[in-house]
Amino acid sequence: MGDRTISAGVKRPRCRVACYLPRSCGSASSRPPGSDVATVEDVRWLGSSLERSYQVYVRGRLKFRVKQIVYVAFSLDETEMGFAFPKEERAALVAAQPHRFHLPRPSDLRFNWVEADLATLDPAEAREFVVDAWRMVVPKKLSRAYDLAHPDGPG
């Protein structure tokens, strides 16, 4: 399945169920209002609004980058979120909450990365992970500026 040009020249990948916009297929991340389970939509606006950050689709997967460094990525079915996380701390995180977090595949263990099941995260927690992952890939002055502008943390 290839890309399809949507209005204003924006290219979006086709989803595997033959729809053209990732959100139009009623995927696993659509949820009823008032639900306290994190979804891609809960963090999409945040990832796009962080300084130097932009979203891309790679083989149908939504990813957020700063320059060429990916700091957040979602699975094709949008049920899992991978994010930058310190290598030194990830074993403790996974051991403490194995039902929520897991290590990436063996070939990706060399990266500062951990993965989470979105159904086990609440939206505020998912946003915190996104901002913390972003902090790992931007200069410290941007991180400090974000803290000054958002003293209560991400939305």
Does residue 114 contact residue 104 with C-beta atoms inside 8 Å? yes
d(CA 120, CA 10): 32
- pLDDT recorded at residue 141: 94
pLDDT tops 60 at residue 11: no
Mean pLDDT is lowest, of 19-33, 56-70, 111-125, for: 19-33
Distances in Å between the Cα of 110 and the Cα atoms of 59, 85, 86, 131, 137 are 22, 12, 11, 21, 16
Which of the four pLDDT bands, split at 50, 70 and 90, describes residue 38? confident
Ranking 7-16, 28-37, 87-96, 103-112 by mean pLDDT, the lowest is: 7-16
Question: Does residue 76 carry a pLDDT above 80?
Answer: yes
Calculate ∠ Cα 98-95-131, nearest 5°.
75
Q: Mean pLDDT across the stretch 68-79?
A: 94
Task: Answer yes or no: pTM beyond 0.85.
Answer: no
Task: Provide the angle, in degrees to the nearest 10, between the axes of the packed helices 140-149 and 123-137.
Answer: 150
Average pLDDT over residues 67-78: 94
For the chain, domains (ranges, CATH) are 31-149 (3.90.1150.30)
Residue 151 confidence (pLDDT): 83
Mean pLDDT computed over 64-85:
94
Please check the confidence at residue 124 and state whether its pLDDT lies above 60.
yes
